[in-house]
C-alpha cells in the first residue's frame, strides 16, 4: 500500500469518527458516547486525536472538543504547507533548469 493510500485511509477514518461524534452531539462530557472497536487505522486515528486533545475521554465514552479539533486541523494544514512549499519550489526549479538546457 502506498503512502498516499495510507494517508487517505487515515483521513477517511478521521472524517467518519468525527461525523459519528457530531451526529451523536457528543461535544461535552455529559454527552459522551462509546465508540465501536476500531481496526488498526481507526485506533491510530483515535490515539492521534486523543494526543491532540481533540478527542476526550469521559467515563465510558468519548466526546469531540470542537475548538481543539479546529486547532488540530489548522496545525496540520500549516505543517503540510511548510512541507509542500519547498518541494514545489524545487520541482519548479528542476522544470525550469530542464527547459533551459
Which pLDDT does position 59 carry in this prediction? 83
Number of domains composing the chain: 1
Q: pLDDT tens-digit profile of 1-30? A: 688 788 888 889 999 999 999 999 999 888
Which pLDDT does position 40 carry in this prediction? 83
Structural domain of residue 54, as residue ranges? 3-99
pTM: 0.77
The position carrying cell 495510507 is 6
45 burial (CB, 10 Å; 0-12 / 13-18 / 19+) is buried
Q: pLDDT tens-digit profile of 27-83? A: 988 889 988 877 888 888 999 999 999 999 998 899 999 999 999 999 999 998 999
Amino acid at each position: 500500500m502506498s503512502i498516499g493510500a495510507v494517508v487517505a485511509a487515515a483521513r477517511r477514518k478521521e472524517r467518519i469518527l468525527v461525523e459519528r461524534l457530531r451526529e451523536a452531539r457528543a461535544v461535552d462530557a455529559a454527552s459522551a458516547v462509546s465508540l465501536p472497536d476500531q481496526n488498526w487505522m481507526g485506533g491510530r486515528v483515535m490515539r492521534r486525536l486523543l494526543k491532540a486533545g481533540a478527542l476526550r475521554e469521559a467515563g465510558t465514552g468519548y466526546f469531540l472538543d470542537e475548538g481543539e479539533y479546529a486547532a488540530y486541523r489548522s496545525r496540520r494544514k500549516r505543517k503540510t504547507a511548510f512541507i509542500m512549499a519547498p518541494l514545489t519550489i524545487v520541482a519548479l526549479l528542476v522544470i525550469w533548469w530542464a527547459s533551459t538546457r
